Amino acid sequence: MMAGNVLKARTIAVLGSREVGKSSLITQFVGNRFVESYQPSVETTFRKVIRYKGHEVEAEIIDTAGQVEHSILSFTHVVGIHGYILVYSVTSKQSFEMVKIIRNKILNYSGRESVPIVLVGNKMDLHHQRQLTFEEGKNLASHWQCAWTEASAKNNDNIIRIFKLMINEMEKDINPNSKELSRKFLNILRSKTFSKLETIASYILTSIVIYCLKYLESRIR
């Protein structure tokens, strides 16, 4: 690690329906190889150091078992997770609907209005089997206000981009600038929790603390 860099630890959960290519995306990113084998009941953790804006981020990537109706999300997939990569296949409308359900479950478990998410449409190389348009994925990400990209684990297209986007989304959440704080505040105003004044008060207090800490940090430097 170069002098002056800070090694940050971030945990990422990769979620989605079975057979959307979650394992293949991770294996391509971590090992630079395409693995087509499919083990639906196996959950594995990978680690890789990612270089991002002058820092090194130690990413712990959890390759979850495929989500199905009777086992859609575990509480362990929420605790200690910094960001989520939600994967659907552009060849499956069902998998696209599943990521919507998974996101709702994540928000319910976490008790938050939003969390760092990268929405990924995998298998973009299967042109003749495509059931979802480019615009459908982009529009959903816009609605969620999260990052999005299509990718191909088989052809190694946009694989690095997925994880760079994920790091960026997590950093915006952990170290928000004034623009991000304003966006989050507006999201609260638009949400059903607006009637709960304690939520607004808590958010304002948190924002003040963040600004004070950043000011003290700059003074120490």
> What one-character DSSP code corresponds to residue 75?
G
pLDDT at 55: 85
Same domain, yes or no: 20 and 118: yes
Same domain, yes or no: 97 and 189: no
pLDDT at 8: 84
Task: Give the percent of the chain with pLDDT over 90.
Answer: 55
> If you average pLDDT over residues 185-206, what whole number do you get?
60
Same domain, yes or no: 67 and 120: yes
Judge whether 2 lies within some domain: no
- State the total domains in the chain: 2
Cα separation, 161 vs 174, whole angstroms: 20
Cα separation, 167 vs 171, whole angstroms: 6
Q: Of the ranges 39-43, 58-62, 76-80, 83-87, which one carries the lowest mean pLDDT score? A: 39-43
- Nearest C-alpha neighbor of 120 from the set 159, 169, 71: 159
Judge whether 102 lies within some domain: yes
Q: 4 falls in which pLDDT band (50, 70, 90)?
A: very low
pTM across the whole model: 0.78
> If you average pLDDT over residues 54-73, what whole number do you get?
76
CATH number at residue 160: 3.40.50.300
Domain limits at 104?
7-174
Q: Of the ranges 19-33, 92-106, 203-217, which one carries the lowest mean pLDDT score? A: 203-217
